[in-house]
Chain A
């Protein structure tokens, strides 16, 4: 069994486990029938989709095994800052006083999934939308721009997220 086949098997396993965990959470039952249906459908779906779910070149161990406690911390920080930013945007809408600018900055995260999670959380936070992501270069539309200086804007927008995500993935 060469390296490529073994890596394909591991990717298949990761896809199957993620799907099956989702099934267990969604059905919340341990009936043999339910488990069988979930297992068979997870097998079928992961047979088709494992090359997309885990890229062949994404081979770092830390890219697939996030630290769960750090991830929960990150989710809590995300929800909290979403509410704070929502109230800020609400105030902007009421006042009708906006200063939108497009800012460019770079991220120091290495793995693809960490970068995608970073861009998604920037978009989830009200007041900022990621327009483009090219390797480590982000283009962000900022509703209430305080600066267009690249490093300072990056610090304000992604600062806490990036610090937490470096603990989760890399």
Chain B
């Protein structure tokens, strides 16, 4: 295993963990979707690039490229479908002012 593979696999692990932390931390469906789907997309891409470094030039590289391309097509569409359903069914996106308002109310009590 060479340096490039190690770097990209490490990045993949980092993004994957932080994406999952974001799901627990963030307040509403949209922001959680941001953390889970998009950070995980980057982590899976990092894993694929790390695998490309490991296998080197050969038939396996073509397969990895096809899989990566397929992933690039399908992954954003699944995230978009979930977000679009939430948007169409009227889930109100969380804003920064919501947290401030709640903070102010709590101080009034």
Please, which residue of chain A has its CB at the minimum distance from the CB of B73? A120
Which of B30, B34, B65, B87 is packed against the most chain A CB atoms within 10 Å?
B34
* Contact assessment for A82 and B87 in the assembled complex, using a CB-CB cutoff below 8 Å: no
Instruction: Give the size range of B's interface with the partner.
Output: 35 or more
> What B residues does A132 contact at CB under 8 A?
84, 87-88
Q: Number of residue pairs across A and B with beta carbons under 8 Å?
A: 108
> How many interface residues does A have (CB within 8 Å)?
35
- By a beta-carbon cutoff of 8 Å, the part of chain A in contact with chain B is 22, 25-26, 28-29, 79, 82-83, 86, 89-90, 93-94, 96, 98-102, 119-121, 123-132, 139, 141, 143
* Contact assessment for B62 and A90 in the assembled complex, using a CB-CB cutoff below 8 Å: no
Q: Knowing that A26-B66, A99-B96, A131-B80 are A-B contacts, what are 7 other residue pairs whose CB atoms are under 8 Å apart, sorted by A's residue number?
A: A26-B62, A79-B45, A86-B42, A127-B34, A127-B38, A132-B84, A143-B34
Main secondary structure of the interface of B (DSSP, over half): helix
B18 close to A (CB within 8 Å): yes
> What B residues does A128 contact at CB under 8 A?
38
B62-104 near A? 1/0 per residue, CB < 8 Å: 1101100000110111011001100110000111100000000
Give the shortest distance, in Å, between B7 (CB) and chain A (any CB): 12
